[in-house]
Amino acid sequence: MVTLCKPAVSVPEHVITMEETLDLARKHHAGHPQLPLALRLIGNTGVAKRHIVQPIGKTLEHPGFQERNELYEAEAKARVPAVVEEALRNAGLRAADVDMIVYVSCTGFMMPSLTAWLINSMGFPSHTRQLPIAQLGCAAGGAAINRAHDFCTAYPDANVLIVACEFCSLCYQPTDLGVGSLLSNGLFGDAVAAAVVRGRGGTGIALERNNSHLVPDTEDWIAYSVRETGFHFLLDKRVPTTMEPLAPALREIAGAHGWDAGDLDFYIIHAGGPRILDDLSRFLEVPPDAFRFSRATLTEYGNIASAVVLDAVRRLFEEGDQQEGARGILAGFGPGITAEMCLGRWTTPAHPAEPPLSARRIVGYSPRFQHARSKT
């Protein structure tokens, strides 16, 4: 049974409130002809506060892409290990028990990926598979869960660590003055999240089915323009309407599993904005409170990109009243327009957690090959 264990989530210490965001927009864009519209859109996001890796004064500066990317790397190395350690504890595992690391991030670039640094720095086996995902944006949190599910289905003794590292504030571009850019400046926040998917054992969401869906001809609705100054986020005004074509995809995956997408026990949905949640509530015919975990993430942290789904899962765990076998759906949405979806049931093993597996095992290698190696 492939199980998604309790995620760990950390947000930076610098906070900007909605009131401060609106005041900054009025100050920096006083002559903008569409400022009233931008202020109204930002105010309607439902975001009360966001956390960022630098004080707001430093965030509003643009020292250049190189310096920003260097800061991304430094902050990732400073903040990710503690979150990883907590996620491993939540799963009852050690670094030596991990067979693959899926690292998702769309707000900075490193090659080799942070996965290589984690393996060298935190005691992961040298044969740990590395799967960095950089171009699925907010959908990457769902994609990471799905790829971990696939891997553990193929190798039932495997364990996969998922890490989402998003410093959206490092993508702020002071020269981008479109309404979509102004809205993004008031919506996105920073966070690091991690979770373990266990092939055997563990308490959490037992993953049963996953799927992807691409809405045709929407590649330019959410995108990056990569320039000398870094990543320029492009957000089309049609994005909030995407739940109409995506809701049937959610119904389809649930129906293929014999479930009704409108009659589940929990919903973990990427909180891109309140309209997405409101529309999906209407199209699936579920009460607004069904998306309370996603709404709480949006309110307290803003849109934290690929980390949203993991934070919403954390909130599901912390609510603490899920019944054995409770059915749910997880979905992340992002560029493409892409949906990454999976179905699962809440599970609490009746027997004690299995002891950590030997650090010497190499999941995916044939016994014959391992036996031959032992003789050499």
Residue 369 has pLDDT above 50, yes or no: no
CA separation, residue 56 to residues 72, 113, 177, 183, 203 (Å): 16, 28, 18, 17, 39
Give the range with max mean pLDDT: 124-133, 241-250, 363-372. Answer: 124-133
Tens of pLDDT, residues 181-220: 888 888 999 999 999 999 999 999 999 999 999 999 999 9
CATH architecture classification, 205-347: 3-Layer(aba) Sandwich (3.40)
Domain(s) labelled CATH 3.40.47.10 in the chain stretch across 3-202, 205-347
| Residue 243 CB neighbours (<10 A) | 23
Mean pLDDT over residues 26-41, rounded? 90
Helix (H) or strand (E) holding 124: none
Mean pLDDT over residues 35-41, rounded? 91
For the chain, give the mean pLDDT: 91
CATH architecture classification, 3-202: 3-Layer(aba) Sandwich (3.40)
Active-site residues, by number, are: 138
Per the listing, tokens 């401060």 go with 20
CA separation, residue 361 to residues 3, 53, 201, 357, 364 (Å): 20, 38, 17, 8, 9
Mean pLDDT over residues 11-34, rounded? 93
CA separation, residue 62 to residues 74, 165, 185, 305 (Å): 17, 21, 14, 21
At residue 320 the predicted structure's pLDDT band, cuts being 50, 70 and 90, is confident
Three-class SS of residue 354? coil
At residue 241 the predicted structure's pLDDT band, cuts being 50, 70 and 90, is confident
The pLDDT, as a whole number, for residue 370 is: 43
pLDDT exceeding 70 applies to what percent of the chain?
Answer: 93
Helix (H) or strand (E) holding 38: helix 35-43
Query: If you ran DSSP here, which 8-state letter would residue 208 be given?
Result: E
**Strand runs labelled E in 280-335:** 327-334
At residue 235 the predicted structure's pLDDT band, cuts being 50, 70 and 90, is confident
Enter the pTM of the model. 0.92
371 vs 262 pLDDT, higher one: 262
